[in-house]
Amino acid sequence: MESCGRSATPPGLEGVALCRRCPVGSNSAIPPGHHSQDLQASLQRPEIKLESLKEDIKEYFKISGWEKKLQNAVYSELSVFPSPSHPAAPPEHLKEPLVYMRKAQGSWEKRILKSLNSMCTELSIPLARKRPVGEQKELLNKWNEMGTDEPDLSLFRPVYAPKDFLEVLINLRNPNYENGDSLSFRTHLGLIQVPLKVKDIPELKEFFVELGLTTGQLGIDDSTQVPPELFENEHVRIGQKVLAEQDSAAAQQYIRQGSPTALRAELWALILNISSQPEDILYYEQLKTNVIQHDLLVDSLIYKDVKLTASNDDYYFVFEDYLYQVLLCFSRDTSVLGHFAYNSASPPKSYIRGKLGLEEYAVFYPPNGVIPFHGFSMYVAPLCFLYHEPSKLYQIFREMYVRFFFRLHSISSHPSGIVSLCLLFETLLQTYLPQLFYHLREIGAQPLRISFKWMVRAFSGYLATDQLLLLWDRILGYNSLEILAVLAAAVFAFRAVNLMEVTSLAAAEAVLADLSTLKVMPLLQIFLFATVT
Amino acid sequence: MSRVSVPCHVKGTVALQVGDVRTSQGRPGVLVIDVTFPSVAPFELQEIMFKNYYTAFLSIRVRQHTSMHTPAKWVTCLRDYCLMPDPHSEEGAQEYVSLFKHQSPSMTFPKWLSHPVPCEQPVPLLEGLPDPSRVSSEVQQMWALTEMIRASHTSTRIGRFDVDGCYDLNLLSYT
């Protein structure tokens, strides 16, 4: 690069060294990943002209790949954060606009905190303690095989199970909604009694238009009887093109028709805007160091959860060690605190021992503000099929949690929140399978009592893994969890004949106990697009 | 032009009932809220801001004094403005709302809700070269921003959860 004298700098231009005007040369491709210094250096080259500066910068972005990265980052922000609200709205309004829901979430949280505190005092175990050096070394040595440890977890109990949470949701009431205490035509037939707006089937058909009968789907049109030339080959080719373009929005649109197995890991990373930079790997290593240094009470809860759920699952037990690594690091990750801006929940607070009430000694517990419940590890387990590098697996799980999974265990009015999903499920069943709904109610088998656990876990552990991944493709593609409620209703519709014959809740549970043989896409398609209404 | 909030007195709601019959069962669907501006000189109202609580439709009527000689009359500024798209569900039920004067239909424009502020004319672009000082300041702003982002990058990334290396905690706090 020839040195440029500043003698010809136009007046008023400081900080940018421009000199002779030369025709703009097209630069050789500047590899992406350059920092702003390189941008500065590039703009000091003699080829840059003042009048085309704006265009040159835009061109630089395009050539270097930064334009795409910026677009993906903006798209990611738009997908995650709620739209800007009224300037007078306080922060809690952004978390949850309805006051009674905020209060209900607050009460629920208080119950959880009390439960954790009493576990602490009963077992005389501190919430957190610094590990002695010897213990740190030991843990570091067996970091990759924590599953072989068999600590005595008999005294620990999960802080709550999904069915405890369901009871809270059933008791949610809008104080301004009068529908009487006694059963009348105005009380809801189902368990959820709050009047949230949910989509009906015509609206769902419009929302999920790509799942229609005339559109090719992975999970249907790639079955062995269908010649791959009809759909699968072309779909794979388009998928490869989408990956080559590195366009998040295009990937999200594409994945509505399902992802080819070979492309899924990359596609999910693209949609979630995750790229493993060196600083991400460093960050994960830092989290690992935090785990080594401090022992938390929630660690025991995580151990217990993994042992009770994933370790007992035929598909997931092989990933046991990965699950400990990811979940223990997750608990230490303070960047997760950011999602509480749009989550109705709030992180639990504590004080350094002896400094109760002094704000400069206030901390969050656990550091990421998320207390795991029974089944939490099942959010991570399916991802282990896609990602084998721990820091990448970690990043993907964290992003999935702050985009989607948190909504499944907090009380909010959001359309993808668990309350809306429950109401959507019940409404779909009542509207389109009224006889079945009535029958199940009569025998004391409220359908939501059976389907709730499926939705809270996003069907993880209930469906076969290939089917689960096809379902999660659509969660990403539509940026919504509503498909969980639709699938739950579709499952009931599929087994309606058997369910009409049962006469007890236990028998109904038995009919719906095993979902491992179900094919999700045909069920969804039939329920939405092929059921006579 | 700076904006200030105008002190107002909001009276309690009055239910509109048909005739004189007071029924305990029938719930009137229309409530009236009187808002007065005591001891305030005539002003140009720009914006009305409030938080909704389960009102589906809003109408606003104003009584304006035009001159000393004509009696004051009531004018409808807004009729059946929809706050809740589905009154039977929670959408919009507790939202913050702003109503601006340009939302009133112009034919019933009361005098004090008068001429909207003219939009600023865009600065005519000089033909040929852009203004160097403007480019310079824009570019400087860009560099300053990137420097700021780079500087804050490292400090927020690896967040500490402890206080000076200590994470020895009491119990969880309920407040």
A463 neighbors A518 (Cβ within 8 angstroms) = yes
Q: Quick check: B136 and A364 CB within 8 A? A: no
**Residue A43 has what pLDDT?**
62
**Residue A477 has what pLDDT?**
97
pLDDT-derived band at B146, boundaries 50, 70, 90: confident
A405 neighbors A458 (Cβ within 8 angstroms) = yes
CB proximity A137 to B under 8 Å: no
**Residue B82 has what pLDDT?**
95
Q: Collect all residues of chain A within an 8 Å Cβ-Cβ radius of residue B158.
A: 283, 286
Q: How far is B41 from chain A (nearest CA, A)?
A: 26
Nearest neighbour of B161 by CB, restricted to A12, A116, A332: A332
B78 neighbors B110 (Cβ within 8 angstroms) = no
Distance CA A332, CA A482 (A): 30
Give me B88's structure tokens.
């039977």
What lies within 8 Å, CB to CB, of A48 at 6+ separation is: A18, A24, A56
Q: Quick check: B135 and A349 CB within 8 A? A: no
Distance CA B2, CA B45 (A): 12
What is the C-alpha end-to-end distance of chain B, expressed in Å?
43
**Residue A19 has what pLDDT?**
30
Which has more confidence, A524 or B29?
Answer: A524
pLDDT digits (tens, 9 = 90+) for B34-56: 998 887 777 777 889 999 999 99
Q: How far is A14 from chain B (nearest CA, A)?
A: 7
Give me the average pLDDT of each 10-residue run along chain A (533 residues): 36 32 31 54 67 80 86 87 85 94 96 93 92 94 89 86 95 83 63 94 96 92 88 94 95 96 97 92 95 94 92 92 96 96 95 87 93 94 96 97 97 97 96 94 95 98 97 97 98 97 96 97 95 68
Q: Which helix (H) or strand (E) holds B98?
A: strand B96-100
Distance CA A465, CA A61 (A): 40
Q: Quick check: A85 and B128 CB within 8 A? A: no
CB proximity B152 to A under 8 Å: no
Q: Which of residues 39-58 of B touch A (CB under 8 A)?
A: 49, 51, 53-54
| Residue type at position B110 | P
CB proximity B143 to A under 8 Å: yes
CB proximity A273 to B under 8 Å: no
**Residue B42 has what pLDDT?**
74
- Residues A462-500 as b or e (16 or more Cβ within 10 Å = b): bbebebbbbbbbbbbbbebbbbbbbbbbbbbbbbbeebe
- Output the DSSP codes for A123-168: HT--SEEEPPHHHHHHHHHTGGGGGG-----TT---S--HHHHHHH
Q: How far is A270 from chain B (nearest CA, A)?
A: 21
User: Cα torsion for A272, A276, A280, A282, to the nearest 10°?
Assistant: 160
Q: Quick check: A348 and B170 CB within 8 A? A: no
A242 neighbors A248 (Cβ within 8 angstroms) = no
CB proximity A36 to B under 8 Å: yes
Q: How far is A97 from chain B (nearest CA, A)?
A: 6
Distance CA A270, CA A446 (A): 40
User: Where does B11-131 have alpha helices with state H?
Assistant: none
Please state whether the peptide bond connecting residue A366 to the residue before it is cis, i.e. omega within 30 degrees of 0.
yes
Give me B102's structure tokens.
């340009």
Nearest neighbour of B172 by CB, restricted to A36, A116, A361: A116
**Residue A246 has what pLDDT?**
94
Nearest neighbour of B158 by CB, restricted to A16, A116, A283: A283
Give me B65's structure tokens.
């004094």
- Residues B122-137 as b or e (16 or more Cβ within 10 Å = b): eeeeeeeeeeeeebbe
Distance CA A264, CA A473 (A): 8
Nearest neighbour of B139 by CB, restricted to A16, A126, A197: A16
- Output the DSSP codes for A311-356: GG-TTTGGGHHHHHHHHHHHHT-GGGGGGGGTSS----EEEETT-T
- Assess: ipTM above 0.90: no
Would you tell me how many other CB atoms lie within 10 Å of the CB of residue A62?
11
> From A420, which residue of chain B is nearest by alpha-carbon distance?
B90
Nearest neighbour of A195 by CB, restricted to B90, B133, B169: B90
Distance CA A240, CA A258 (A): 13
Would you tell me how many other CB atoms lie within 10 Å of the CB of residue A270?
25
Q: How far is A170 from chain B (nearest CA, A)?
A: 17
What lies within 8 Å, CB to CB, of A87 at 6+ separation is: none
For testing contact with chain B, the best of A117, A197, A301 (most B CBs within 10 A): A197
Q: Which of residues 229-248 of A touch B (CB under 8 A)?
A: none
User: Where does A457-531 have alpha helices with state H?
Assistant: 465-478, 482-494, 496-501, 505-511, 520-529
